[in-house]
Amino acid sequence: MQANQSNYLNDNNRAVLMLKQGRHQDAIALLKQLLKKNPQNELIRKNLHNAYLSAGMAMLRKPDYQTLSALMLEAQRFDDNEHLFRVMRGRALFSLKKYNEAEIDLQMARSMGGPDTQVLFLLGNVFYATDRMYDAFDVLESARMLDPGNDAIEQMYSKVQRELSVEKDMQKEYGRHFTITFEGDNNNIIGTEVINALENIYYSLGSLMDYYPEQQTPVILYSRKQFKELTRSPDWSGGLYDGKVRLPVGGIDTVDEKVKKLLAHEYMHAILREIAGRNIPCWLNEGLAQLAEYEQEDRTLVMFEQARKHGMLFKLAALETSFKNYSGMRAMLAYEQSYSFVRFLRDEFGWYPLHELVFALGEKLTISDAIDRAYGGFGVNYKSLEKRWLNSF
C-alpha cells in the first residue's frame, strides 16, 4: 500500500514539474492517468484543474485557438463549475469566428458568477461581429461601469456608439449568409436585391477559393459622407472590410453592375481575412479582390502602363503593407500594379496555386515561404516571379 502511495506521489510530482517546464499536455495526460486510478484523490484533481488552466493560458499566449477550444471542452467535462474554462473556450471560438458557439460558452460563464468585465467585453465583440449592435452597446456599457478607464472597452464602446448613431434608423434584411443594413424608406426591394447579388457572389467566389464561410457576413450601405465619417477612410476608398463589409453606396435604387463589382471586391476581402487573417500582403489582398471585381472583364491599367514605361513601378515588397498612406495617384498605381501581378499569376499558373498561396499564409508562413510552397513546383520563387512578370510585357 505504501509503495502504491509512493508511486502516485512521485508521478504527481513529475506532473507538477512538467507544468513548471511548460509541458502542459504531458502533465495533463499523466494526471488523467493518475486520476483514473485514484478517482477520489483531491490533490490529483486540484493539479489537473490547474494544469488545464495553465495550458489554456499558454495557448492564449501562442495563440493556438483550435487546440485551445478542444482542450477547454475537455476541461469542462472534467469540471463544469469552472467559469474560466468557459471564458477561454468562448475567446477561442470567437477568434475562430464561431460566434454562435462562443456566445453559448460566454453566456454560461456570465451566469456562473458575479459580473465579469472580460466576459462582458467578449460578449460585446460577439454581438458586434454578428451585427446585434444594441446588445453590444448594452454589455459594453456594463463593462465600462465595472472597469472605468479600460482603453480596450472604451474604444469598442465608442465604436459601437458611433456606428449606432448612423445605423439606428436604417433597415435590415437577413439572408442565408449575409445581413444587410441600408437606408430604404421602408422599401425592402433594394435589400432583397443586394442579398440576392451577394448570395450569387458567395457561391462564385467560394468555388474559386474553395471556401464557404459559415457565419453570416454583415454588409452596410452608407452614404459617402457617413462612410467617410465612420471609417475615416481616404477619399479614394471605394469600400472597406473590417469584419463587416462597408460600402459608400447608400441611396441606390437598384443593384447595377457597378454595385455588384463593389460587393464582389469587398466580399473577397472577407474570404481572405477568414482564411489568412492579417497575414497577407496588401498586393495579394487587393489583387485578388480586383480579380473578383473584374471577373467578367479585364481592367484598364492606364496608370500602371505609364509607370511601367517610365520605370516608376513599386517593388512588390513595398506593396506588402497598407496603401492608406499613399496619395490618390500613387494609391491608384498600387492597386493597378497589384491587379496586374495577381492577374499574371492566375493567367500563367491558374487558380489552384493562388488558392494554395492564401491557405499557406493562413498557416502563418511568410509570403516568401508561402510562394515556395504554392509555386515551387514551377521552379520559381518570390524574386523570380516578380522578374518573370516584368519580363512578360
pLDDT in tens, 310-350: 999 999 999 999 888 888 889 999 999 999 999 999 999 99
Q: Is residue 141 within 8 Å of residue 115, measured between CB atoms?
A: no
Q: What is the C-alpha separation between 182 and 65, in angstroms, rounded?
A: 34
pLDDT of residue 168: 84
389 against 187, higher pLDDT: 389
325-to-209, 236, 284, 315, 334 alpha-carbon distances in Å: 29, 12, 18, 16, 11
Q: What is the average per-residue pLDDT within 267-284?
A: 95
pLDDT of residue 223 exceeding 90, the answer is: no
Structural domains in the chain, sorted by start:
114-168 (no CATH), 170-271 (3.40.30.160), 277-393 (no CATH)
What single letter denotes the amino acid at residue 103? E
Tell me the three cell numbers of residue 391: 519580363
Phi, psi of 321 (to 5 degrees): -105, 175
- State pLDDT tens for residues 120-171: 999 999 999 999 999 999 999 999 999 998 999 999 999 999 999 888 888 8
pTM of the model: 0.79
pLDDT of residue 187: 55
Q: Does pLDDT of 357 surpass 70?
A: yes
Residue 1 has a pLDDT of 44
The span from the CA of 354 to the CA of 359, in Å, is: 9
Is the confidence at residue 4, as pLDDT, over 70?
Answer: no
In angstroms, the Cα distances linking 32 to 12, 48, 75, 82, 216 are: 10, 7, 11, 17, 39
**Positive/negative CA dihedral, 148, 152, 158, 163:** negative
pLDDT value of residue 282: 96
In whole angstroms, give the CA distance from residue 346 to residue 268: 15
